[in-house]
Structure formats: C-alpha cells, structure tokens
Structure 1
Amino acid sequence: MLASQRRTTILGLVEESGAVRVSELVEQLGVSDMTVRRDIEQLAGEGLVQRVHGGALAVGTRSTEEPGFTAKSGLMQAQKIAIAETAAQLVEPGAAIGISAGTTTFELARAVCTVPDLTVVTNSVPVAQLLHESGAPGQTVVLTGGVRTPSDALVGPVAVTALRMLHVDRLFLGVHGMDARAGLTTPNLVEAETNRAMVETSRQVCVLADHTKWGTVGLSTIIPLSSVDLVVSDEGLGARARTALTEAGAELMTAAPRTRFDRRRRGTP
C-alpha cells in the first residue's frame, strides 16, 4: 500500500469511528508503529485529524457523534491513568461514591478496586464488571440498570429512577467535553439526563477529564461549570481553561503521567 493510500485509509477510519488507536492501525495496515505515527502527524499537519497520545481524533467532531468505549480507551492513556490515580487518593475506606461511565472513570475504578468496604454506584457496565471481578473484600457495587449506549453507559428512565433513591459522598464524572460557555457536555441526550441524576445524588462533583476534552462541545449540557466542585486533569490543560474553571468556582488538581522509570520501580508495565 502506498503512503497516500495508507493515509486515506487512516482518515476514513477516523471519520467513521471518531477515534483510532495506533496499535489498531499497525495491525490493520501491516506497517510499523513509527510509520503509522508519521502518517498521523502528516494528516494532523494538514488539519485533517487531531493527533493525540496513542492515536488520532476526528477534527470538528459532530456534536452528536459518540465514539465507542473501545475506540476511546487507548487515547491519552497515560494521562487517564495519572488522573485516575490522583483522584483515587480522595477515596477512603467505607465511603460511598458514584462513578459514571467513561474510559477515565474506568481507570479510576481500577485504581480504587483495592479500597476496602467501598460502596460504588455506577451506570457503567465495564466499571461494575471490573469491581465485581477484582474488588476488595467488603466492596458493594450498585449497577443502575437502563439502556446501554455506545460508551457502555446504562441510561434512561430505569437508571434515573434508581439514582433518585441513592446518595453518595462524591461523584466521579467522566465527560465528552468541557467548555466555558457550554459546561460539561455529552453527545447523548439521554446520557446527559442520567448524568444529571447522578449529580443530584452526590454531595460533591469531581470531574475527571484530560486536557483534550477542553473546547469540545457535545449536543447536550450535563451541568454548567459552576456546578462542579473539583476537576482532575493533566498538565496539558491550557491557561484559559484553568482560568475559566477557577472563575467558575471549581478547584483544579493536575496529574503528571508516570515515567517509564517510575513504572519499572513500581512494578507496572
């Protein structure tokens, strides 16, 4: 396959799914990791895709477009893990927390699975499955029920009804996008309603979002920035975003991805 054909294929895959991972492209195109990264860099230079850590995103993604859980899980992975590990420090044994659907919140579930006597309310199928299989003794998982979305969230009236009967200390909320005017958004109208019900169950709202979420606006607003208590993001979050969050009254915590040396020292891959 010629280089131009490869790039056309990559562009088509990005436009179709909204996001692609380098590892998937390596396998599908039968070329090296470096070749794929060069192709993505050229497409990004031409303004055709947005280059992110681990893959590429569609440029000018439609406000109703909702990439699936698998497509998003490999993007900005180091940042998501760092955000999750930072947020996990807020979770104490015996607490009741909410975890919304999303790939960053899934990493949070992985980070808190060893916390004893934890009660987790979630509308995420992957989060519930992870905690069911790996959770510490005494953990309780409450799965809301509802209709499953492409992001593996359970949404709709069943989920909302269940959530209105529950109360948690802190909600860890994943979002499709953050914007100074639009607030926290999602492409899915029903998921926005369900997430608002999750917000209403919680005494504190903590948003987990890497810096690429800033400036992205989905179809439906979940809540305005002024309703957010805390945002955990990565060091790539820009100055304007930090100012907007501060002015809205949200506390900001930033997380730095671990280096390879740190990962080797802690025995992680």
Structure 2
Amino acid sequence: MLPAQRQDRIVAEIERVGGARITQLAELLGVSEMTVRRDIDALARQSLIKKVYGGATAPTRSTSDEPGFEAKSHRELAAKDQIGAMAASLIEPSTTVAVSAGTTTYATAVHLAKIPGLTVVTNSVRVADYLHAHGDRTQTVLLTGGVRTPSDALVGPVAVQTINDLHVDALLLGVHGMDPKAGLTTPNLMEADMNRAMIAATSRLIVLADHTKWGVVGLCAMAQLADVSVLVSDEGLSVEARDALSNLVGELLVADPKEAAV
C-alpha cells in the first residue's frame, strides 16, 4: 500500500468512528506503529485529522471551513478516479461541457482529455492546465477569469459574467457536501455564486461526489438534490445514502472499481 493510500485509510477510519489509537490503526493497516505516527503527523499538518496523545481524532469543522486543493488532493484517490472515469463516460465527443473546480473534477479531467472534439469551459486552473497539456488536439479549453480560491477556482463577477453568456450541454460539478435537506453546498460564498451560474447554464447537471461528502453541510447552498440530473459516487456510499439519493436525484450511478481500472 502506498503512503497516500494508507493515509487515506487512516482519515476514513477516523471520520467513521470519530477517532482511533495508533495501535488500532497499525493493526488495521498491517504496518508498524512508527509508520502510523509518521502518517498522523503528515495528516495533522494538513488539518485532515487532529493529533492527540496515543492517536488521532476527527478535526472540529465549521460550515465555513475550506481545505485547500493540496490538502484535499490526497483524499479518496481511488474513489475520485473511479468517479471521474464514469462521469467522463457520460460525455459525448464534440459537445460542450462545463467543469467546476475541485479535486474530483481534476481527476475527471484525466478521462475527459481522451474525448475528441470536446469544448470545455472551466473555472479550474488545474483542469485547464491538465487539458492544455494532455487533451485531445481537437479540444477547445476556455478558462474563465476571476479571483483564485483555496480550491484553485476562479470566482467573482468576471467569472460569473463569462458563464452567464454561455450555454453548455452538461456541467460536471464537484461539491463540498450533499445533504437531503441542505442540498449541494460549499463553504465559499463566491464559489457558490460561480457554481450557481454554471448550473443555470446547463440543463444537465452531473454531480461528482465521493461517499465522504454525504451528510456534509457547507455554508452556502448551490442547488437542491432534486435539481441533479445524474449523481456519480463510489461504492463506499452507504445503503442509507443510496436509498435517499435514489429518491431525490434524477439518476444515481455508483462507480465500479473494475471499470475504472480498465
């Protein structure tokens, strides 16, 4: 198991139970306690967990907490790739797609890069950079202007105006949280404005959200779950969440790890 995969498991376990001792994590992962201590130190520096005597606990977060791109990029790597592969399979060649900022949409860009004739409109510096470097030569990538957020999103009046003048076939939207009552949320006010504009620019909203986003509520609501055409998640999504989402969104798709690996 790679260090990033191991640390991902540590974060997931701590979020699941609220905290864990070093001895428990070492047994769970089949590694030494010293290795777990190093992982806990690394994760605590990124504010993904809180280091305590003998172990670690989940950090206390408010609705306005916004981890940066680098901190989020190490989490749920396999799930994000699986979600990205499935989401990209929903996009037809020679169409226009908007892509929001975030680590899951960045993982999706790897798969979008293979689709010919695609026009991509994005406010993500990372997504634009990747598609410019690796995308199909027939693709067109449009990057909005604006102010840069911790998640490397370009937001603000300039970015919103750019999107207001466009109509796209589909929107691939990453979210901070999804909740039956609160809907789709983000902790960033300006990013919420930008995402609302992107949602208004399409009739097909495709949301990309791994299982850790279920039940998370950020400061700002962007849309209700009933507005979602397709929601793509991963196999870690609980039965309870699947049942709720199936009744709320247009279509729920759970990515298959085997298909992403092909």
Normalization by structure 2: what TM-score?
0.78
* Deviation by residue 1:10-69 (Cα, 9 ceiling, x = unmatched): 99xx9xxxxxxxxxxxxxxxx9797227975xx9xxxx949xxxxx99434211111011
Cα distance, 1:38–1:154 mapped onto 2, change above 3 Å? closer
Unaligned runs of 5+ in 2: 1-9, 15-30, 51-55
Asked if the contact 1:79/1:234 (under 8 Å) is kept, the reply is yes
Report the Cα distance in structure 2 between the residues aligned to 1:194 and 1:84, rounded to whole angstroms.
Answer: 21
Asked if the contact 2:231/2:249 (under 8 Å) is kept, the reply is no
* Corresponding position of 2:139: 139
Count of matched residue pairs? 224
Asked if the contact 1:170/1:205 (under 8 Å) is kept, the reply is yes
* Deviation by residue 1:73-124 (Cα, 9 ceiling, x = unmatched): 1100000000000111111210100110010100111111021110001000
Amino acid at match of 1:241: A
* Deviation by residue 1:195-214 (Cα, 9 ceiling, x = unmatched): 00000111200000100000
Q: Report how far residue 175 of structure 1 moved.
A: 0.3
* Corresponding position of 2:155: 155
* Corresponding position of 1:174: 174
Cα distance, 1:57–1:194 mapped onto 2, change above 3 Å? farther
Normalization by structure 1: what TM-score?
0.76
Runs of 4+ more than 4 Å apart: 31-34, 37-40
> Cα RMSD between the aligned structures?
2.8
Report the Cα distance in structure 2 between the residues aligned to 1:107 and 1:185, rounded to whole angstroms.
Answer: 20
* Deviation by residue 1:145-204 (Cα, 9 ceiling, x = unmatched): 111000000011111100000111110000000101100000001100100000011120
Amino acid at match of 1:228: V
Question: Identity of counterpart residues, as a percentage?
Answer: 56
Amino acid at match of 1:93: P
Unaligned runs of 5+ in 1: 1-9, 15-30, 51-55
* Corresponding position of 1:252: 252
* Corresponding position of 1:28: none
